[in-house]
Structure 1
Amino acid sequence: MRAAGVNPADVMLRDGSLAEWYRDAEPPFVPGMDVAGTIDEIAGDVESVSGQSLSLGMEVVGIVGIVDNHGRHGGYSEYVVLPAESVTSTPAGTTFPQAASFLMNALTARYALDALGLWPGATLLVTGAAGAVGGYTVQFAASEGLRVIAVASEADGELLRSFGAEAVVPRGDGAAQHVLDLAPTGVDAVVDTAMLHERIAPAVCDDGQIAVFRFWDGSPGRGITVHPVNVRTRATDNVAITRLREQFESGVLTPRVAATLPAGQAAQAHRIVEEGCLRGRVVLTFQPATPESTG
């Protein structure tokens, strides 16, 4: 391991928000889903994955999703063991922190858009658009010919327009009405990274769609379909993972590292994430392994 992204889901694991999910598991729980580092060992039956050869010392990025669904082998570790399908080579020209900052967020955005299945020219609303998942959603959607309306603070307007957003509306209680001022019949779909739920549903057209994250048992009515998104179900989708790396290399996606801290300062990293208003990921860094450190 050389770097591990710190995601909101890691904070939820620590603060008890996921207690119901982990009710039958024994601690310890180790957070961390985004990882980057070098291959130290390869199982004997693994030669390549999706046509990509794997070799010792190869620099890779990966997502920790199914090795242990109860979190004992999370990314805040000096070593992690992953299915070969969960890794790809690091994007060319990136640092380890940059490599560890994008994969889970980009895969989450990709999953949400795949679930919606929109067509070029459709109108997509993205809440929390300046965040990591929201920003990648905007970039994907704009590159695929969608009309993107972003909900964010005024200060983030220039950034989101550079990502391809056609319009940026201010967040807050009036967000849905601001959207309807731009799209009077409602948008075709929402990627609701800010978890506005029933507060943003009025901005969706009849028979539209909402992609949601974490937990929401609401029913918006009017024929609107709600798509729960759980990125862990695609942790071994190597075709998608490799495609994300290629899009990162080509500039469709951009690196978004908000801060880097040594792994020993994980508690401080969590405090920064909890404070919110980040425009990228906090990343923990690890020193290269040495014979002395491994014994």
Structure 2
Amino acid sequence: MRAAVVTTFGGPEAVEVVETEVPEPGARQVRIKVAAAALNPVDAGVRSGVFGGAGERLGFGWDVAGTVDAIGEGSAWSVGDEVVALHHGPVKPLGTHAEYVVVDTDAVAKAPEGVDAVHAATLPLNALAAVQALEFLELTPDQSLLVTGAAGALGGYAIQLAAHRGLSVTALAREKDEELVRSLGAAHFTAGDGGGFDAVLDAAVIGEAALARVRDGGAYMGVIPNAAPASVRGVRVGEVGVLADGARLAELVRLVEEGVLTLRVAETYALDEAAKAHARLAEGGVRGRIVLVP
């Protein structure tokens, strides 16, 4: 099968598409024939060596939408099931940017009804990160939340999930994105200063500048491990370490089917164009997710 990998760290030109063996599922695992897989900023980090693994062959991709085509002993799924899943971990020999991928059975959920695989593939990583971040923040409906990077994939899901919970959400984004973030459920918009929020979900990774907008004793949630600023003024600081959770993913699928969550595809590329997809991601300004199709 074909898979996108990196063997020498670098820019988008370091991405290779190679032939490799089809993986076999073990106990409590399933193999998915990939129909679509999203490209995320974490993949750029893998490519450039942020997570280590020098000298190894590293695969790309966390999100997948496709069809179960083989199962291991103890799997809860059946061959032919249409699913979505999160393939956790930045340092792995094969990711979801491949024709087949093996994942743990507990990382899988039924694909959303009435949604094509390209759109479904944008759900797992970013929506799970958003919901897990909101759980850390422990906000009640009478409290306020600032979401930085609000027009991005993670930020957009965070707005919709928070608004669905009755929170007052302020979106921090570029002025040209105001209409977009308001359509996702942001009650307020800012492109500049302002503070006093009960919590900040820092999807834009602006660190101390975002922390400064939290009230004394509030909460800050970062989205990159080991990159959060130090706590000040009694602010509780955390970082989302996204966990594969098929049960929670199934709840997010239900919210897609109910129209609560919007699946946004920025562009699609063939798997053989993986390097071009990385180059597009590096340009910035992507609204939604770039998706690879084998």
* TM-score normalised by the chain length of structure 1: 0.85
Aligned AA (1:64): H
- Match of residue 172 from structure 2: 151
Indicate which of 176, 182, 190 corresponds to 2:200: 190
Question: Size of the alignment, in residue pairs?
Answer: 260
Q: Secondary structure at the match of 2:64?
A: strand
Decide whether aligned partners of structure 1 residues 245 and 194 sit closer, same or farther in structure 2, where only a CA change above 3 A counts: same
1:218 aligns with 2:229: yes
SS of residue matched to 1:37: strand
Equivalent residue for 1:55, pick from 56, 78, 84: 78
Q: Are 1:284 and 2:292 counterparts?
A: yes
Q: 1:34 aligns with which of 56, 63, 67?
A: 63
Partner of 2:161: 140
How much has 1:56 moved relative to structure 2? Answer: 1.1
Task: Work out the CA distance in 2 between the residues paired with 1:161 and 1:70.
Answer: 36
CA contact (8 A) 1:30 1:76 kept: yes
User: Secondary structure of the equivalent of 1:82?
Assistant: strand
State the distance in 1 between where 2:147 and 2:177 align: 13
The answer to whether the 8 A contact 2:62-2:125 is kept is yes
CA distance in 1 between counterparts of 2:223 and 2:139 reads 18
Given that residues 211 and 229 in structure 2 are in contact (C-alpha distance below 8 angstroms), is that contact kept between their aligned partners in structure 1? no
Extract structure 1 runs of 4+ deviating beyond 6 A: none
3-state SS of paired residue (1:80): strand
Distance of 1:258 and 1:70 partners within structure 2: 26
Considering fraction of residues, name the structure with more helix: 1
* Alpha-carbon separation, structure 2, partners of 1:5 and 1:276: 15
Name the structure 1 match of 2:118.
Answer: 97
Q: Which protein is richer in strand relative to its size? A: 2
CA distance in 1, matches of 2:180, 2:155: 12
Match of 1:183 in 2: none
Is 1:43 the counterpart of 2:72? The answer is yes
1:198/1:218 contact within 8 Å kept: yes
Change (3 A) 1:129 1:96: same
Q: 1:111 aligns with which of 108, 132, 155?
A: 132
Partner of 1:289: none
Which residue matches 2:217?
207
Q: Distance in 1 between matches of 2:73 and 2:241?
A: 31
Residues 137-178 of structure 1: CA deviation (Å, up to 9, x unaligned): 0000011010001100111111111111111111xxxx3x3x
Q: Residue in 2 aligned with 1:166?
A: 187
Q: Which amino acid aligns with 2:117?
A: F
The one-letter amino acid of 1:99's match is A
Counting aligned pairs with the same residue, the percent is 40
> How far 1:135 moved relative to its partner?
0.4
Which residue of structure 1 lines up, in the alignment, with residue 267 of structure 2? 259
Counterpart AA for 1:209: A
In 2, are the aligned partners of 1:126 and 1:134 still within 8 Å (CA)?
yes
Matched, 1:7 2:35: no
Alignment correspondent of 1:124? 145
Q: Give 1:228's match in structure 2, choosing from 219, 235, 239.
A: 239
- Pairwise CA RMSD: 1.3
Q: What is the DSSP-based 3-state SS (H/G/I as helix, E as strand, rest coil) of the residue aligned with 1:2? A: strand
Aligned-partner Cα distance in 2 for 1:217–1:118: 19
Please say if residues 4 and 36 of structure 1, whose CA atoms lie closer than 8 Å, have aligned partners that are also in contact. yes
CA offsets, 1:193-249, max 9 Å, x none?
111111122211000110002132532410011111111xx21x2221110111111
